[in-house]
Amino acid sequence: MDRVLIAGAGVFGVTAAIELRKRGHPVMLVDPGPLPHPLAASTDISKVVRLEYGADEPYTALAERAVEGWRRWNRDLGPLYHETGLLLLRRTPFAPGTFEQDSFEIVSRRGHRPELVDGAAVRTRFPAWNAGRYRYGTYDPEGGFVESAKAIARLVAEARRLGVELREGVAFTRLVDRGVGIISGAGEAIAADRVVLALGAWTPHALPWLAAEFRSTGHPVFHLAPKDLDAFRPERFPVFCAEIQNTGYYGFPAHPESGVVKIARHGKGRPMHPESPQRSVTAEETAQLREFLAGTFPLLQEAPIVHTRICLYCDSSDGQFWIARDPDRPAVVVASGDSGHAFKFAPVLGALIADVVQGRPDPLQSRFAWRPGLRPANWQEATRSPT
Ligand SMILES: Cc1cc2nc3c(=O)[nH]c(=O)nc-3n(C[C@H](O)[C@H](O)[C@H](O)COP(=O)(O)OP(=O)(O)OC[C@H]3O[C@@H](n4cnc5c(N)ncnc54)[C@H](O)[C@@H]3O)c2cc1C
């Protein structure tokens, strides 16, 4: 069996390592570490899991498989996925082409049970919301959030348990000139038969031949300490998207351990290097959040912000993942381009990447294909706000 070397132990790299090991390959996984890496996008207290992808049914189908996978991992790896359900609310009525209406139609047609909610329902069931403004929406009992950093820690332990050779403290710097393998930061040549580069937002910086295809962008994350914790318990404050195509804002119930309410923005973001000194939330981003809270969650308007973070996407030009062999380097697979929405697919990502490594066909490969030169950027992911 081919020896596979994977650089990058975020969710792309570690799930690929586990899957390829299960398929019998000797696997080495290298990452500068420590793991979960504090600057990695995968390392956070929570990530949204949703079936809803607007009119993009293949993503909903993939998310269905992922949700089954999270339920299985809850049993096998211990609680990680909290099925709080997903609340999508908007200030204006549904219309064809809106994320909320298209999602509702597709998810219902596929046999799930999202329900429509109106202002009265919002007022009684989800009292933290400004029901006078947000009067149109859906609540899907399926979906919720995963504790992503915890998931990475458990997956890293699982990889070790399966016999993946994990080398923390080892960084990819370049590919070897002859043969297959990498040169590490310490100058060590590490040979393999296949190489997977799963470097997240570091991709455009570490792979110069792909610098034009990806952009690393920073996105603000806020942790708030609500005075009235009860109003933010999952049953009254499930994972939400607040007219996300327009506002970009989404968030989570009070965290089971810390009690903080995390709110973030899935918008344009700011171009930056993952290790940039400018990697902190700006006064402008904070003011925008306060304005959003004032109109949406009156109980959070004055709530203290107890933590902020800038987390990075590896943006592809169309917002779709990039999981493909390099046509100029056939032994190399690049698995990246998360565009801010890949973590939820962790239970199925490993197989998608392993199939490309092994040359096994999958219908999704055309979507995640090697597609240089897509200009201008035109995100096709339904929730991404252009602002
Ligand atoms: C603010 C924010 C919110 C998000 N919310 C959601 C959400 O709600 N739902 C969802 O599904 N997704 C969400 N995402 C997206 C999700 O976090 C990413 O899609 C996913 O974590 C990307 O994983 P990755 O493995 O590509 O990158 P990362 O997790 O960043 O991992 C990359 C790894 O590469 C390593 N590395 C870097 N350089 C080298 C090198 N030279 N050699 C070896 N290793 C190296 C790093 O140390 C790191 O461990 C969000 C992302 C952000 C930024």
Q: Which band of pLDDT confidence, cut at 50, 70 and 90, is reported for residue 278?
A: confident
Same domain for 121 and 224? yes
- From 296, 316, 336, the end of a domain falls on 316
pLDDT value of position 56: 96
Residue 376 has pLDDT above 70, yes or no: no
State the CATH number of the domain containing residue 264.
3.30.9.10
Same domain for 116 and 130? yes
36-51 average pLDDT score: 98
Instruction: Compute the distance from residue 357 Cα to the ligand 1 centre, in Å.
Output: 20
Query: Global pTM?
Result: 0.98
352-360 average pLDDT score: 98
Residue 110 has pLDDT above 70, yes or no: yes
Is 57 domain-assigned? no
The amino acid present at 97, given as its one-letter code, is: G
201 lines ligand 1 (CB under 6 A): yes
- From 287, 316, 345, the end of a domain falls on 316
Q: Convert the pLDDT of each residue in 122-176 to its tens digit.
A: 999 999 999 999 999 999 999 999 999 999 999 999 999 999 999 999 999 999 9
Residue-range definition of the domain harbouring residue 9: 4-42+149-213+318-384
Is 62 domain-assigned? no
Is 77 domain-assigned? no
Look-up of token digits 């197989």: 351
Q: Which band of pLDDT confidence, cut at 50, 70 and 90, is reported for residue 358?
A: very high
pLDDT value of position 322: 98
| Burial class (CB within 10 angstroms; exposed 0-12, middle 13-18, buried 19+) of 253 | buried
25 lines ligand 1 (CB under 6 A): no
- Output the average pLDDT for the chain: 97
Same domain for 172 and 205? yes
Same domain for 179 and 116? no
Same domain for 232 and 188? no
Is 274 domain-assigned? yes
Q: pLDDT over 70 for what percent of the chain?
A: 99
Instruction: Compute the distance from residue 229 Cα to the ligand 1 centre, in Å.
Output: 30
Same domain for 324 and 208? yes
Which of 156, 299, 303, 285 lies closest to 218 in space, CA to CA? 285
177-198 average pLDDT score: 98
Instruction: Compute the distance from residue 222 Cα to the ligand 1 centre, in Å.
Output: 18
Best residue among 11, 183, 188, 333 to mutate for probing ligand 1's pocket (most ligand atoms within 8 Å of CB) is 11
- From 284, 316, 348, the end of a domain falls on 316
Is 76 domain-assigned? no
Is 346 domain-assigned? yes
Same domain for 289 and 343? no
Tokens of 211: 């610098």
86 lines ligand 1 (CB under 6 A): no
Q: Convert the pLDDT of each residue in 225-276 to its tens digit.
A: 999 999 999 999 999 999 999 999 999 999 999 999 999 999 999 999 999 9
171 conformational bin, left if phi > 0, alpha if psi -120 to 50, beta if neither? beta
Number of separate domains in the chain: 2
Is 49 domain-assigned? no
Q: Which residue has the least CA distance to atom 5 on ligand 1?
A: 47
CA distance 99 to 118: 17
pLDDT value of position 375: 66
